[in-house]
A and B are shown apart, each in its own frame.
Chain A
Amino acid sequence: MMRIHAELQGVTRVYPATPTHSAVHALGPVDLALGRGEFFSVVGPSGCGKSTLLEVLAGLAQPTAGSITFESATIQGAVPDGVGVVFQDDASFPWLNVRENVAFGLKRARLPAAEVRERVEYALSFMGLDDFALAYPAQLSGGMRQRVCIARTLVTQPRLILLDEPFGALDQQTRLLMGDELLRVWRETGATVLLITHALDEAAMLSDRVGVMSARPGRIIEVVKTGWSRDRDSRLASDAQFGNITSRLWRVLREESLKGLGRTGTPPRKQETI
């Protein structure tokens, strides 16, 4: 039996109506339990409520209904200690250079200076940012800025790491290598990871389990267990099981993505006969 680290029960979120917009039912109801030290990925069609799910779980947004617990305490209106978030949007601080950005959270944690320096240098090097330590975000590409944000989150060694499409701005090769680095951090720290991604292969390769979300309002319609060992890396892309998992994810997701685009199921194309 896995020990539950974070749990959502019957969670929904409705964005209230505004003068220009009617209310949006963005999420749920969602029931989800993340095991301690588990790597869980979420895939789903665009706009289905993935970011909303992450914000509710982090304590950044209030659920309209349902409850969220983290380390057996209910999350209510504040982000609990031990949670780190990498957002979908660029959240680097433009007034600080890369090193200062990465060190930002640690400066607040009242750690010894030597410890801060060591952690920051380590994070810079495994995110491939050594040469840019003194650069400012405006001088970096989008993908590099996102790496700055990942490094800034990881140096604080959160016990629950939430990542919202962190590799979205990266090319495929870098994305695979960053995935390996993430796996290494996950293994070394024993953190629980929730990764939102739009890349099915990434989800299939990195995760213990992958949750597939429906079109908005997002519910988790299927959870796929991968069964990888803990010391996996991107080389398992050549594993036969990898293809099975990816195609299973795509089967479930295809229908939902069509719905997300506003088309309800397309009739299967007839076999052409000559």
Chain B
Amino acid sequence: MSRVTWVRLAVVAGALAALEAACRSGLISPHTLVPPSVMLATAAKLLQSGEITADLLRTLRNVLAAFVTAVAGGFFIGVVLHAAPPLRRVAYPFLASYYAIPVFALYPALIVVFGMGDLPIIVIGFLFAVVAMIINTLDGLDRIPRVLLKTARVMRMGPVATALRIKLPSAAPHLFTGTKLAVAYSFIGVIAAEFILSGAGLGYAISYAYNNFNTARMYALMLLVITLVIAVNLAFYTWEQRLLRRRNLR
């Protein structure tokens, strides 16, 4: 491991130890925060007993659904907008101001339209993630060097071969950025939506524990969510590094 990694680990370990000490000594009331060791033990117990497995799987399934539809839909919309500049000019102000709109404010309307089940939750995750994918798809397509497209014409490649063998790999780093953002936004959208409008899922479990003053359980669930998101991001990060290393784009 590199020195930076060691320092990073030391910082985290130090912070945890300080927190542990503060909780144990009574500096922080147990109603506000439980010691990290208790969080960890409670999380392990929750996983072992299987009582949150259903919530966990449900959240993962919703995130996956939001993520897949956002990446596929965002890519498709990006390609269409790129191919049709007038349409793109129309869409531009919406895309540019999109993340200023609080999607969650729409949730009563979504419930009216999609009912109470998982669908409005997935839709919120999708709405949260899709525009990041659209913007990055457009960016990637815009940045294909013109000389590569000329090269394709010299090689007498048709539109399909040009799209698959020149445009797609050339835009790949940006598509990857969009995908990575879509993962993060899907998680945020789904868990936050579960928080406020669901009867199941990790977000719901956290808010349930909170409402029942079960502080240890609440923090254990938070720990699980954070660990999950970090793990998924780390997996993507590793994949991206491998993909980009040879292109020296880091």
Which residues of A line the B interface, CB within 8 A?
A: 55, 58, 60, 78-79, 81, 83-85, 87, 89-91, 93-97, 104-105, 108, 136, 138-139, 156
Contact residues of B between 160 and 206, Cβ < 8 Å to A: 161, 166, 169-170, 172
Interchain Cβ contacts under 8 Å between A and B, 25 examples: A60-B150, A60-B154, A78-B153, A78-B156, A79-B153, A79-B156, A81-B156, A84-B154, A85-B150, A85-B154, A87-B150, A89-B145, A90-B147, A91-B145, A91-B148, A93-B148, A95-B170, A95-B172, A105-B155, A108-B157, A108-B161, A138-B246, A138-B248, A138-B249, A139-B248
B153 touches A60 (CB 8 A): yes
Choose among B145, B155, B248, B249 the residue that contacts A108 (Cβ–Cβ < 8 A): B155
Q: Considering the chains assembled together, what is the distance between the CA atoms of A93 and B172 in angstroms?
A: 12
Contact residues in A for B151 (Cβ distance below 8 Å): 85, 87, 91
Give the distance to chain A from B241, nearest Cβ to Cβ, in Å: 14
Which residues of B line the A interface, CB within 8 A?
A: 145, 147-148, 150-151, 153-157, 161, 166, 169-170, 172, 246-249
Give the distance to chain A from B223, nearest Cβ to Cβ, in Å: 39
Given contacts A58-B154, A93-B169, A108-B157, could you give 8 more A-B pairs where the C-beta distance is less than 8 Å?
Answer: A79-B153, A79-B154, A83-B154, A89-B147, A94-B247, A96-B169, A138-B246, A138-B247
User: Closest residue of chain B to A105, judged by CB?
Assistant: B155
Contact residues in A for B170 (Cβ distance below 8 Å): 93-95
SS of B interface (majority):
helix
Q: Considering the chains assembled together, what is the distance between the CA atoms of A84 and B172 in angstroms?
A: 27
User: Closest residue of chain B to A55, judged by CB?
Assistant: B150
Contact residues in B for A84 (Cβ distance below 8 Å): 154
Contact residues in B for A136 (Cβ distance below 8 Å): 246-248
Contact residues in B for A60 (Cβ distance below 8 Å): 150, 153-154
B169 touches A95 (CB 8 A): yes
B247 touches A95 (CB 8 A): yes
Q: Considering the chains assembled together, what is the distance between the CA atoms of A139 and B147 in angstroms?
A: 20
User: Closest residue of chain A to B243, judged by CB?
Assistant: A95
B247 touches A91 (CB 8 A): no
Q: Considering the chains assembled together, what is the distance between the CA atoms of A78 and B152 in angstroms?
A: 11
Give the distance to chain A from B156, nearest Cβ to Cβ, in Å: 6
Give the distance to chain A from B178, nearest Cβ to Cβ, in Å: 17
B156 touches A91 (CB 8 A): no
Contact residues in A for B145 (Cβ distance below 8 Å): 89, 91
B147 touches A91 (CB 8 A): yes
Q: Considering the chains assembled together, what is the distance between the CA atoms of A91 and B147 in angstroms?
A: 6
User: Closest residue of chain B to A77, judged by CB?
Assistant: B153
Q: Considering the chains assembled together, what is the distance between the CA atoms of A89 and B148 in angstroms?
A: 9
